[in-house]
């Protein structure tokens, strides 16, 4: 069951859901979701460094470069480009609430997607949320740090998770590249 705006406010007030820095609810809260903002850090893929990507060897070679934009400077996402970004907000969820990440319609209408497959925010997570940003349009799009880039809705589990999230991305700050090689050890 999705939490309503009333329930989201209650969970934020009693700190069972933690969002830091605290969002401006007048701007960010809708009927059943909370908008999150784009941070100023990005991981750009450098295809010239690899002839192909081998998940078993992901930690052996650096295939991304961290880029930080400053001030009012935009990050330009080019057509067909895929980069990692993250939310400004740190999120902590209890064992009985999951989150669901979605793109914002206004950016989607420009061809911007914020997740390829990773829409589920697991119960028990404590982290910045990494965004899988892609540009499906035919023109570059400027993305500004601090802009509302995605929304998260919250769902109550039927009972608290017996094993809340304690995976390889727990505690991630900013952009975190794939750790798939840890699955293949």
Which domains does the chain possess? 5-184 (2.70.40.10)
Among the listed residues 92, 132, 162, 182, the single catalytic one is 132
Question: Each residue of 139-156: pLDDT tens digit?
Answer: 999 999 999 999 999 999
H or E segment and range at residue 7? helix 5-13
Give the span between the Cα atoms of 152 and 20, in whole angstroms: 14
The average pLDDT across 126-140 equals 96
What is the structure's pLDDT at 123? Answer: 98
Q: Which of 150, 43, 177 is nearest to 88 (CA)?
A: 150
pLDDT tens sequence across 93-108: 999 999 999 999 999 9
pTM of the model as a whole: 0.91
> How far apart are the C-alpha atoms of 79 and 74, rounded to whole Å?
16
Q: How far apart are CA 168 and CA 102, in angstroms?
A: 22
Establish whether 60 is a catalytic residue.
no
For residue 138, is it left (φ>0), alpha (ψ between -120 and 50) or beta? alpha
Mean of the pLDDT values across residues 45-59?
72
All residues at 6 or more sequence positions from 163 whose CB lies less than 8 Å from its CB, including other chains: none
pLDDT at 55: 76
The confidence score (pLDDT) of residue 160 equals 97
């Amino acid at each position: 069951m999705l939490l309503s705006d009333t329930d989201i406010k209650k969970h934020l007030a009693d700190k069972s859901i933690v969002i830091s820095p605290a969002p401006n609810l007048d701007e960010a809260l809708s009927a059943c979701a909370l908008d999150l903002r784009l941070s100023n850090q990005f991981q750009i893929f450098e295809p010239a460094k690899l002839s192909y990507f081998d998940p078993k060897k992901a930690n052996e070679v650096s295939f991304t470069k961290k880029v930080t934009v400053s001030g009012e400077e935009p990050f330009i996402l080019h057509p067909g480009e895929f980069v990692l970004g993250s939310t400004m907000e740190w999120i902590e969820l209890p064992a009985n609430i999951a989150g669901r990440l979605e793109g914002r319609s206004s950016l989607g209408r420009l061809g911007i997607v914020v997740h390829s497959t990773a829409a589920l925010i697991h119960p028990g997570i404590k982290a910045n949320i990494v965004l899988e940003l892609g540009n499906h349009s035919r023109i570059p799009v400027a993305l500004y740090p601090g802009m509302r880039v995605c929304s998260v809705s919250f769902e109550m589990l039927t009972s608290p998770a017996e094993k809340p999230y304690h995976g390889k991305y727990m505690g991630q700050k900013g952009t975190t590249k794939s750790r798939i090689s840890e699955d293949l050890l």
